[in-house]
Chain A
């Protein structure tokens, strides 16, 4: 197949969304990092210059990905996975430590972050395993293997330490749900999160009281003909209460103070205004400054390069994890809503593309891509606008970071390559 025909059949809408996000991202990296002394765009000593270099490298990567024979990805996905895991493991003897985390290889001209690569490899490997004719997701054993594929890279990444990146691999569980993993897993997960939050926010006592209240209410209004299986019902109730109690134990005894700080901050557990003021200067500094910067942008923002808080460097990591706050300050609600909508439409478009695949591998990989991108978007923006706890992961296509941009691009374009080929399946 010639490269020309791929370009004809590629989904240009997704490509447009992709370039929009990369462009907005780079402009804001420029604004966050440029100094009056060195305003040049092509300054490869400055962060924005480096990012521009990686944007160029990403375009080359796109061409490469599109040029490669489509079966290559499916055929070698197991190998990729194996190599990725070895590279992750190799970090421990050979990795470079930056800011306390051993997450990079020093390649001289740049630092490679293999966890980004592992995301691509894992998405491919999972799709490969699930699309195997012998795999039945309804079977517990196969569910276990599928989950194992996600868990191995996560386990390898956690001790770097980089729990944020590790968390992302579990996003691939959405692929499993799409392929028939029973939804009550999701129900249990959701219930667990709900109880966790409610226990911390309102306390176990309140939780138990309201459960009892709801139970009584339920028995009062239920129809006589409706029989309640008493024993399973009681088991569920008791396990909820036990779980709630164990949340308290874990929170107070197993969590470290910094974890408690983050959850406390997120759930607004501190009410005393004096202590709140203190928190804003210490553990809550990032979130507070980031929210403030976004708020100060207003509807239309302060204008490109006009963000006073951005210029003053008040939001830490503003060019990487907190890039969204620069958009908020300088481009206002118009800018932030444009980004949120672009991401949302990109995800919906990709899901639509995945659903139209004839080849199950392509569909599953497509879901993997959306899941990974979506969870990054959810956690990153949620953190920056102050509705989720602080977890340090980048905003795809926008945050500063060479490996991130490169591998998110590869992740996306492998799928677009598969999609471009959907009518000419050759399995």
Chain B
């Protein structure tokens, strides 16, 4: 034992070391070590971010040069701090703080000392910069907006955070990435690919030439310019109309599914999120939790759709064969659910599909809805059929449009009610509100617009999308170019569309007529509630309008949702008619109406729940 003790130890250690070394150098080795080799400096060459145009080639977003003052702390020589700070418009404490921060980050890597100088400051500084060792100016490119609208559609870009860095190896600290909207959705197309140069550093951190003679270097790939389906003129017009109102508007081209405009009120000027005031402005916008300007209502606000939903119930009833075009149901200024009566303000009398729609009769649709369920032995079966038809219009699920955010809306299923009331403890009378688009149904404005486009197309729709061209090349993604068919046969659409046309000719929206354009539409007035100090409180109804025009060759399908705007025709209907006229004719002839809609605000309504006082709803303040 004593003779072999040391030898065995020597052999054992030799084997252990060889094992550890083979683990390190053979098993852990990855040839792609360039990414974290501190001896190889990577110099990036950033391509310019792609421009964004509207559908007619008008510029929406471009780039502007900007200048950052950079510092490499270890190269800084003693300097006249006061003079330098004056030159930079910086107070001394902040300067010292920033310099310390930079030193903590790294003494030998550049940090930003002052973000985004104005062009004037740059001019003044440029010549004097040589005096200050360790400081230099770096040119960057900033987003420039050629419009004050579409902030939520376009989105904004901001510096990558820890999470982005962990998720995507492409980015390094300090780079920019699209954060919302189109900037986020089409980040890779707009961004291009940065070029990389590998530089070998020596022990003194000096560059000593290209690493491996530059064989691993890449040239930057330019960001591509894209055209959106947005119509800049219509978008800006819609946003002007939305001033002082909350809600969402979505206009689609039914024949292609292209999003002509997507408006969310209130909104903000996209230029606020660029430049030196960026973080201040962002905090302000983000902290406005009541008006919530950064929340894109056109795709995120899930609300009860109200009466426009009746058109779908009519279509389903026709498809299921439980009514015919002329089947009549009597309205007793309301209808009965069990022993309780629910009101209707259509005037009462016999209703068929046509008058049921244009007079927006609640009783007619409650009856129709009941018939759909009575066709099947159990409510469960009826519910399944109804749900299937509804969902074929793109409701109750993500639509699949090319924007980074969305909401499903809600088409309640039997499971939903089983959970709510208990298994089989509910019947069609529990869910009768669904017939008139109240109850448990929720939809976003873009879903309502898409549903309208499907009616305009008599049975199919194209998934709404925002991207039209990349570098002038039209998109060919079949997801957006092939139609999705609803479960309703084409022949059933005509009577419903006639009803919708009559809404405009002689029905609930006869006040919004446009000379020379035939519109098919449907008003909606949706009840809604809020909680004030824990008490459920009803607010003024939401004003809803969906329409498409012209009736026989639809060029635009639009959904307008104005929160607390009361009757459907009052705000939503007028705004929709102005936008349709603007889009179809190019100009608006009804200047009086236009002026009135531009000036009216609903701020008094929005203030009510926060006033702390009792308030009346559905007042006539015109």
Q: Which residue of B lies closest to A351 (CB)?
A: B7
Residues of B within 8 A of A296 (CB): 29, 33, 37
Q: How far, in Å, is A56 (CB) from chain B's closest CB?
A: 26
Specify which of B7, B14, B28, B202 lies most central, judged by the most chain A CB atoms within 10 Å of its CB.
Answer: B14
Q: Which residue of B lies closest to A374 (CB)?
A: B10
**B3-A385 in contact (CB<8A):** no
Mark out the residues of chain A between 368 and 420 whose CB falls within 8 Å of any chain B CB in the assembled complex: 370-371, 374, 377-378, 381-382, 385-387
Residues of B within 8 A of A174 (CB): 5-6
**B1-A183 in contact (CB<8A):** yes
Specify which of B2, B5, B22, B28 lies most central, judged by the most chain A CB atoms within 10 Å of its CB.
Answer: B2
Choose, from A144-152, A230-238, A308-316, the stretch at the interface: A308-316
Q: Which of A311, A313, A340, A371 contacts B21 (CB 8 A)?
A: A340
Q: Fill in one digit per residue for A124-165: 1 if any B CB lies within 8 Å of its CB, else 0.
A: 000000000000000000000000000000000000000000
Q: Which of B1, B2, B9, B39 contacts A309 (CB 8 A)?
A: B39
Q: Which residue of A lies closest to B202 (CB)?
A: A311
Q: Fill in one digit per residue for B203-223: 1 if any A CB lies within 8 Å of its CB, else 0.
A: 111001001000000000000
Residues of A within 8 A of B208 (CB): 36, 311
A333 to B202, CA, bound (A): 24
B350 at the interface (CB under 8 A from A): no
Residues of A within 8 A of B28 (CB): 295
**A344-B11 in contact (CB<8A):** yes
Residues of A within 8 A of B25 (CB): 294-295, 297-299, 328, 332-333, 336
Interchain residue pairs A-B with the least CB separation, the first 10: A312-B39, A313-B203, A344-B14, A308-B39, A333-B25, A298-B29, A347-B10, A295-B24, A340-B17, A336-B21
Tell whether A333 pairs with B3 under 8 Å between CB atoms, given A340-B14, A344-B14: no
A208 to B200, CA, bound (A): 54
Residues of B within 8 A of A180 (CB): 2
A332 to B29, CA, bound (A): 10
Residues of A within 8 A of B38 (CB): 309, 312, 314
Residues of A within 8 A of B24 (CB): 291, 294-295, 328, 385
Residues of A within 8 A of B7 (CB): 347-348, 351
Q: How far, in Å, is B28 (CB) from chain A's closest CB?
A: 5
Q: Which of A333, A347, A370 contacts B22 (CB 8 A)?
A: A333
**B5-A341 in contact (CB<8A):** no
Mark out the residues of chain B between 1 and 58 whose CB falls within 8 Å of any chain A CB in the assembled complex: 1-3, 5-7, 9-11, 13-14, 16-18, 20-22, 24-26, 28-29, 31, 33, 36-40
**A333-B26 in contact (CB<8A):** yes
**A299-B21 in contact (CB<8A):** no
B330 at the interface (CB under 8 A from A): no
Q: How far, in Å, is A61 (CB) from chain B's closest CB?
A: 26
Sampled A-B contacts (12; CB under 8 Å): A35-B203, A36-B202, A174-B5, A177-B6, A294-B24, A295-B25, A297-B29, A298-B31, A299-B25, A312-B203, A328-B24, A333-B26
**B26-A311 in contact (CB<8A):** no
**B10-A299 in contact (CB<8A):** no
A74 at the interface (CB under 8 A from B): no
Q: Which of B6, B18, B39, B202 contacts A371 (CB 8 A)?
A: B6
**A178-B5 in contact (CB<8A):** yes
A36 to B208, CA, bound (A): 9
Residues of B within 8 A of A183 (CB): 1-2, 5
Q: How far, in Å, is A331 (CB) from chain B's closest CB?
A: 10
A355 to B13, CA, bound (A): 21
Specify which of A295, A309, A367, A374 lies most central, judged by the most chain B CB atoms within 10 Å of its CB.
Answer: A295
Residues of B within 8 A of A385 (CB): 17, 20-21, 24
A216 to B310, CA, bound (A): 78
A295 to B29, CA, bound (A): 6
A387 to B24, CA, bound (A): 11
Residues of B within 8 A of A310 (CB): 39
Tell whether A378 pairs with B13 under 8 Å between CB atoms, given A312-B203, A328-B25, A387-B20: yes
Q: Which residue of B lies closest to A314 (CB)?
A: B38
A311 to B2, CA, bound (A): 46
Q: How far, in Å, is A251 (CB) from chain B's closest CB?
A: 25
Residues of A within 8 A of B505 (CB): none
A50 to B18, CA, bound (A): 31
B510 at the interface (CB under 8 A from A): no
A180 to B3, CA, bound (A): 10
Q: How far, in Å, is A376 (CB) from chain B's closest CB?
A: 12
Q: How far, in Å, is B491 (CB) from chain A's closest CB?
A: 64
Q: Which of B2, B18, B29, B205 contacts A340 (CB 8 A)?
A: B18
